[in-house]
Amino acid sequence: MIQNKHLWIILLTVIAVAVLSTNGLAEGKKLRIVFNPPNMAFPWTTFTAHVAEEEGKKLGVDIILQDGQGSSSKQSSDLRNAVNQSFDGIVLTPNDVNALVPVVNEVVDANIPIVTVDRYVEGADKPVPHYGVDNVAGGAKMAKFVIDKFPNGAKIILLTGQPGSSSAIDRAQGIRDTIKAVGDRYQLVADQTANWSRAEALTITQNILTSLGDPPDAILASNDDMALGALQALQQAGVPKGKVVVLGYDAIPEGLAKVRDGELAATVEQLPGQQVKNAVDALVAFLRDKKPLETLKLDPILIEKNNLNQAERISEVE
C-alpha cells in the first residue's frame, strides 16, 4: 500500500509538471500577425503602421510589417511568404481591389485568418472581414459641402486616388453621384487621378488651370496630399487665397493645420487609428477566443475649422 501510494504521488507529480509545462509553452508563444499596407511612402500609411505596432505591444502580440511599395505583385509575394512562414494572422490593406484576390484565396485556403483595413478586396472565394470607413459617404459629404457653399452652381475639379484601390473608387463614387443628383448647375470640369501624390496633384492642377483659363469654384481631392498639391498650384498661379474652395480627405496633421489656417476649407476624418485598432483587436480576439470576425465600417466626419477637436490626430498639429 505504501509503495502504491508513492507511485501515485510520483505519477500525479509528473502529470502536474507536464500540464504546467504545456501551459507555459502555450502562454509563452506570442502570436505573430502580419500588417501589410500598400505603400509606406505616404504619411497616412506610416501612421497606420505605427498604430498597428503599438496595438500589438498593448495586446502582447508581434506585428510584422510588410511594405507593399505600391505594387500588387509585391504584396502578393509578401503574403505568400507569410503563408510559407505560418504566421498566425494577416491584416491587409490591399493595393488593388481585384489584383490581390488570388493571394487572398491562397491565405484562406491555408487556414490563416485574414482581415482588410481601409481598403477591401472584391471577389474572393469567401468574404473577407473588413474594418474601415464608409468612403462613399465621405465623398458625398465633400460634394454636399460644395453644393451648400455654392447654391447657384459651381465648376469643380476632382482629383482622384490610385486607380483600382477601393478607397479611391468609393470616394470618387460618393462625389460623382452626389453632384450628378443635383443637376447640370454643378459641373466636373476636370476629373483626373493624381495617384494620392502631392507632386502629381501639383502638376495636374497646374495643367488644368492653364487649360480652363478661369479658376474653378472648388477642387475636391481624394486625400490631403493631393489637396496640398492643388493649394500649391493655385498659389503659384497667383490665384488669391480662398478664391477656390479646396477640400481634402484623411485629416493628416498637415491638412488639419491648413484647415485651421483657412487654406483648406475642410478635410474628411476617416479615423485611421480606430480602423487599425478595430482590425488588430478583432483578429487577436478571434485567434485567442474564437470570437467571430465581422465587418465594421465607421462613419466619416467632415472636419472644418469649427470642429477641429473631432479630428483623431489634432494633438499632432503644430
- Tens of pLDDT, residue by residue over 140-151, are 999 999 999 999
Residue with more model confidence, 25 or 228: 228
**Sheet containing 218-221: order of strands:** 186-193, 154-160, 218-221, 245-249, 266-269, 301-303
What are the helix (H) ranges across the chain? 2-28, 43-59, 72-84, 101-109, 135-149, 166-181, 198-212, 224-236, 253-260, 272-289
pLDDT of residue 43: 84
pLDDT of residue 42: 86
**Does domain 135-269 sit in CATH 3.10.560.10?**
no
Residues of the chain with CATH 3.40.50.2300: 27-131+273-297, 135-269
Grid cell 488593388 is found at 96
Pairing mode, strands 301-303 and 266-269: antiparallel
DSSP-derived 3-state class of residue 266? strand
Query: How many helices (H) does the chain have, and how many strands (E)?
Result: 10, 12
Q: What is the pLDDT of residue 28?
A: 57
Q: Are 266 and 302 in contact (CB under 8 A)?
A: yes
pLDDT-wise least confident of 28-37, 167-176, 252-261, 298-307: 28-37
If one counts every other C-beta atom within 10 angstroms of the C-beta of residue 202, the result is: 20
Residue range 270-281: mean pLDDT, rounded: 98
pTM: 0.87
What is the second-level CATH architecture of the domain 27-131+273-297?
3-Layer(aba) Sandwich (3.40)
Residue 247's pLDDT is 98
Which pLDDT belongs to residue 78? 97
Per-residue pLDDT tens digits for 37-55: 999 998 889 999 999 999 9
